[in-house]
Amino acid sequence: MIVNQFLILGAAVFALGVYGVLSRRNAVMVLLSVELMLGAVNLNLVVFDRAFRDELAAGQIFSLFVIAIAAAEVGIGLAIILLIFRNRSSANVDELDLMKL
């Protein structure tokens, strides 16, 4: 196994996540794409941890932190989307244009 095969895969998943965030219209779908990007970041952290044989296992610990932050982010994000849906009965990001002139 070479390091690059994992890194390129991570880059591909991250790019797909960026594509999803930009092209999705439904806010829940945008959150799903953000999860893809976080997963790609986790893969990179673990790969570098193993490739450099970190004695403190910092890469794995920080990928655990990323997982925890992602869980918190999903909770808050879905609560906000729920609130927007309750107030405007729509969860489409292009209809939230109150701050647009």
Could you tell me the smallest distance in angstroms from the CB atom of residue 44 to other proteins? 10
Which residue, 76 or 98, has its beta carbon nearer to other proteins?
A: 76
Q: Give the Å distances, CA to CA, from 37 to 28, 40, 74, 90, 94.
A: 15, 5, 13, 25, 22
Smallest gap from residue 99 Cβ to other proteins (A)? 19
Between 63 and 99, name the residue whose CB sits nearer to other proteins: 63
Q: Locate tokens 């570098």: which residue?
A: 48
Taking the complex as a whole, the smallest distance from the CB of residue 84 to other proteins amounts, in Å, to: 9
- Residue closer to other proteins by CB (options 22, 98) is 22
Separation between Cα atoms, residue 8 and residue 11, nearest integer Å: 5
The one-letter code for the residue type at 59 is G
